[in-house]
Amino acid sequence: MLVTTRSRAAKLGAFVAGAALLLSACGGGGGGNSAVQTGQAFADCDKNPNTCNAAQADQLQQGGDVTYAIEKNVPNWNVISAEGNVFETGEVTKGLLPYTFYATPDLKPVLNKDFVESAEVTSTSPQTVVYKLNPKAVWSDGTPFSADDFIYNYKVQNGKDCPDCAAASTAGYDQVKSVTGSDNGKTVTVVFDKPFTDWKLLWSSGGAMYPAHLAKQHGDTNTPAGLASSFKWFGTTVPTWSGGPWKISKFVNNQSVTEVPNDKYWGAKPKLNSVIFRVITDATQEPTALQNNEVQVIYPQPQVDLINQVKNMPNISSFIGLGLTWEHFDFNLKNPALAQKPLRQALFTAVNRKDMIAKTVGQFTNKVEPLNNHNFVPQQTGYKDTVSATGQGSGDIEKAKKILTDAGYKLANNQLSDPSGKPVPELRIRYTVGNQIRQNECELFAQTAAQLGVKVKVQSTDDLGQTTTSGDYDVIVFAWVASPFPFGGAIQNWGTGQGNNYGKYSSPQVDSLMAQANAETDQTKAADLLNQADQIMSEDAYVLPLYQKPTFIASSDKIANIRNNSTLDGPVYNMAEWGIRK
């Protein structure tokens, strides 16, 4: 999963950080959102999310440039690392990195045949997956794409071969027994120690592949130290190489990333001359940039004023959708005060999610409801309400106070003291700079906490990935941008010691249930096991799901084949198909 400002990170969220960037189960499509749209280009996107705003190649100009606004700089280029696992990094690298599966706007996984001609489970005992690689696939220096690339990216993410590689996730990779190549490296055979429910997650767009032959130039890929050295190099070095339809021609720190077609690419060539990712960290400036044609596409965190500004712009279409991106409050359990469950439960119980939605995203769409699961969204098979019964998110101040008094806390003179008589210290809640909705959410949290005698300072961050990975917060609000694979994603986000588990939650029972779900080939049983883990997590009050985060895209009507994609892949999932209408 990618963290968003991905994530995914991501984490992949980070890229999500998951979610950030990276996470989720193959479930229902993205319909039924009754998404809001203006203009004509996206008029069909609710009914036909994968094909709306389409145009055939002969209807497009040869050439042209598109500037796409992103809300974060790229301080780390390794999207499979915990720090680089940020949604914007995932967007910028999507056209460079090979991957096995990606998510389409209907929230389903699709095989990326430009890189992998087939991927099949050939045995269930032991579970074995065989990938047949596209024989034409090469890196931009002419080196064939091969099993070596699978093996290297497996080693740096399995948690064993490279202990010092801070991978965004080891989920699934840590269940693999072997990765071997044959047929001159064009066949990859993966054998699992135990079954992995979401095997399609491995080497997918949420954790795409870095070139093994370049890794070898920056460390011995047969040693832990050498792997860590190369892993770090990919994070600190702007890619001059590519394994996709695009390559980076220019990077101006804190300003822009320019990508041009990769002349070594074997698939359909992009029609555009370039796509420029322009960094605009203040989302309020994006509508002006769009209106002035300084950018032609924006995909910001939706804000009331921002959406209203875009609505009446001539020759601009916009669309609001719901998908695998979800907003949440997280506690940092390394804070001694927050290590105490009653305080966490009370603070989350005091939060009024319905009121928070009404005062933020509810001002521009009436379709958003409180989200009551940490791993599934309502459009997915397996979604179950695990939160409501706990009372968290209800805004019940009296219940919150009772949780505290029952646990021995005392409130006097607007100051809460713990059972030992020690005042609960001031907490810092953090959000991404320039995001007004998240600032409002933090302020509402602080106002609520004050009613319990807990002081909360609201503070922004301009580097979400660094803030989460370093644990430089007490409470934080961000969104996971998930893939359609919930089981491996759950381990990545909530498992003890996992890269996206920034707040250091640990529950042996949750770990066990997630591991069982992750190794269960029956999807119904897997979902039930994951929901059992989800119920425990809800009671433990580590993360409070807020709502499915609306995504908002606005684009010039001249650009064809661009559309919303409320997953970690984002609108850039098909960037090679974009073009300017004739």
pLDDT over 90, % of the chain:
77
Average pLDDT over every residue of 60-88: 94
With b for 16 or more beta-carbon neighbours within 10 A and e for fewer, the 84-118 pattern comes to bbbbbbbbbbbbbbbbbbbbbbbbbbbbbebbbee
Whether residue 33 is predicted with pLDDT greater than 70 in this model: the reply is no
Indicate the DSSP class of residue 273.
S
Determine if residue 104 is left, alpha or beta; phi over 0 gives left, psi from -120 to 50 gives alpha, anything else beta. beta
Q: How far apart are CA 351 and CA 93, in angstroms?
A: 37
Beta strands at 37-38 and 316-321: parallel, antiparallel or unpaired: antiparallel
Q: How far apart are CA 283 and CA 435, in angstroms?
A: 7
Q: What is the CA radius of gyration of the chain?
A: 23
Q: CA of 203: how far to CAs of 134, 158, 408, 497, in Å? A: 15, 12, 49, 21
The overall average pLDDT reported for the chain is: 91
DSSP-derived 3-state class of residue 327: strand
Secondary structure, 3-state, 389-449: HHCCCECCHHHHHHHHHHCCCEEECCEEECCCCCECCCEEEEEECCCHHHHHHHHHHHHHH
Q: How far apart are CA 232 and CA 234, in angstroms?
A: 5
Q: CA of 434: how far to CAs of 52, 335, 463, 484, in Å? A: 31, 26, 12, 29
Whether residue 35 is predicted with pLDDT greater than 60 in this model: the reply is no
Per-residue pLDDT at 22: 30
Other CB atoms within 10 A of residue 360 CB: 23
Average pLDDT over every residue of 457-462: 95
Average pLDDT over every residue of 64-69: 98
Which position has the token pair 């370049």? 214
Question: Tens digit of pLDDT for each residue in 482-522?
Answer: 668 888 788 889 999 988 899 999 999 999 999 999 888 78
Average pLDDT over every residue of 242-253: 98
Q: Residue 36: which pLDDT band, with cuts at 50, 70 and 90?
A: low
Pick from 20, 52, 32, 5: nearest CA to 555: 52
The sheet that has 297-298: what strands, in order across it?
37-38, 316-321, 551-556, 297-298, 65-70, 274-279, 256-261, 246-252
Question: Tens digit of pLDDT for each residue in 216-231?
Answer: 999 999 999 999 999 9
Contacts of 192 (CB under 8 A, 6+ apart): 126, 127, 128, 129, 175, 176, 177, 199
Per-residue pLDDT at 12: 33
Contacts of 448 (CB under 8 A, 6+ apart): 347, 350, 351, 352, 395, 397
Give the DSSP H or E segment for 67. strand 65-70
Pick from 204, 221, 228: nearest CA to 94: 204
Question: Tens digit of pLDDT for each residue in 164-214?
Answer: 999 988 888 999 999 999 999 999 999 999 899 889 999 999 889 999 999
Per-residue pLDDT at 482: 67
Per-residue pLDDT at 301: 79
Exposure of 309 by Cβ count < 10 A (0-12 exposed, 13-18 middle, 19+ buried)? middle
CB 460 within 8 A of CB 131: no
Q: How far apart are CA 205 and CA 101, in angstroms?
A: 6
Whether residue 314 is predicted with pLDDT greater than 60 in this model: the reply is yes
The secondary structure of 160-223 as a DSSP string is: SS-TT--BS--TTGGGEEEEEEETTTTEEEEEESS--TTGGGTTSGGGPPPPHHHHGGGS-TTS
Average pLDDT over every residue of 250-277: 97
Average pLDDT over every residue of 258-276: 97
Q: How far apart are CA 569 and CA 244, in angstroms?
A: 15
Residue type, 118: S
Whether residue 344 is predicted with pLDDT greater than 90 in this model: the reply is yes
The secondary structure of 500-551 as a DSSP string is: T-TT----HHHHHHHHHHHT-SSHHHHHHHHHHHHHHHHHHTSEEEEEEPPE
Average pLDDT over every residue of 103-123: 94
Indicate the DSSP class of residue 268.
P
Per-residue pLDDT at 1: 53
Q: Which of 17-26, 125-134, 217-226, 227-236 has the lowest mean pLDDT?
A: 17-26
Which position has the token pair 């990508």? 259
Give the DSSP H or E segment for 123. strand 116-124
Per-residue pLDDT at 136: 97
Whether residue 481 is predicted with pLDDT greater than 90 in this model: the reply is no
Alpha-helical (H) ranges within 211-273 are: 212-215, 224-236
Whether residue 580 is predicted with pLDDT greater than 70 in this model: the reply is yes
Task: Provide the angle, in degrees to the nearest 10, between the axes of the packed helices 341-350 and 397-406.
Answer: 170
Q: How far apart are CA 546 and CA 532, in angstroms?
A: 20
Q: CA of 41: how far to CAs of 181, 268, 322, 563, in Å? A: 45, 24, 18, 9
The secondary structure of 332-380 as a DSSP string is: -TTSTTTTSHHHHHHHHHH-BHHHHHHHTGGGT-S---B---SS--TTS
Pick from 120, 102, 81, 107: nearest CA to 204: 102
Phi, psi of 85 (to 5 degrees): -80, 65
Beta strands at 543-548 and 101-103: parallel, antiparallel or unpaired: unpaired
Maximum Cα–Cα distance across the chain: 74
Task: Provide the angle, in degrees to the nearest 10, between the axes of the packed helices 523-540 and 341-350.
Answer: 100
Pick from 60, 120, 435: nearest CA to 111: 120
Give the DSSP H or E segment for 487. helix 486-494
